[in-house]
Amino acid sequence: MSLQILLNFSVVIFTLGYLASLGLEIKLQEVFNSLRSVRIISLVFFWGWVAGPALAWLLTRFIPMTDAHAAGLLLVSMAPTAPFFPLVVQRARANASSGAAMLLLTTIGTVVFLPLLAPLVITGLTVDTWSLAKPLLFMVLFPLLTGIAIQVGARDIARKIYPVVRKTGGVFLVITLVLTFMAYGRDMLGALGSFAPGTLTVFLIVIAVLSYSFSFGLDQPQRSSLALAMCTRNIAAVFAGYFGITNPPPGLFVMIVLVVPIAAVVAFGAAYLFARQSPKYQE
Q: Is residue 88 part of a domain?
A: yes
Strand partners, 246: 126
Residues in a beta bridge with 233? 80
Q: Which residues lie across from 80 on neighbouring strands?
A: 233
DSSP letter for each residue of 93-121: T--HHHHHHHHHHHHHHHHHHHHHHHHHH
Coil, strand or helix at 82? coil
- Does residue 82 or residue 27 have the better pLDDT? 82
CB 140 within 8 A of CB 104: no
Distance CA 139, CA 243 (A): 10
The 10s digit of each residue's pLDDT in 56-110 is: 999 999 999 888 899 999 999 999 998 788 889 888 988 878 888 898 899 999 9
113: number of Cβ within 10 Å: 18
Classify residue 283: in a domain, yes or no: no
Residue 116 maps to which CATH number? 1.20.1530.20
For residue 224, pLDDT over 60 is answered with: yes
Higher pLDDT, 29 or 5: 5
Residue 282 lies in a domain: no
The reported pLDDT for the residue numbered 50 is 96
Q: Which residues contact 65 (CB under 8 A, 6 or more apart)?
A: 73, 194, 195, 196, 199
Q: What is the pLDDT of residue 1?
A: 58
Condensed to tens digits (0 to 9), the pLDDT of residues 148-205 reads 899 888 888 989 999 999 899 889 888 888 888 888 777 777 777 778 899 999 999 9
Distance CA 221, CA 272 (A): 13
Report yes or no on 185 lying in a domain.
Answer: yes
Mean pLDDT of the chain: 87
pTM for the model stands at: 0.88
**Above pLDDT 70, what percent of the chain?**
98
Number of domains in the chain: 1
In a domain, 142, yes or no: yes
Which pLDDT does position 90 carry in this prediction? 86
**Do residues 44 and 106 touch, judged by C-beta distance below 8 A?**
yes
Check whether 227 has a pLDDT greater than 90: yes
231 in a structural domain: yes
Residue 188 lies in a domain: yes
Angle at 280 between CA 32 and CA 94, to 5 degrees: 35
Sign of CA dihedral 135, 203, 118, 193: negative
Full residue range of the structural domain in which residue 259 is found: 3-277
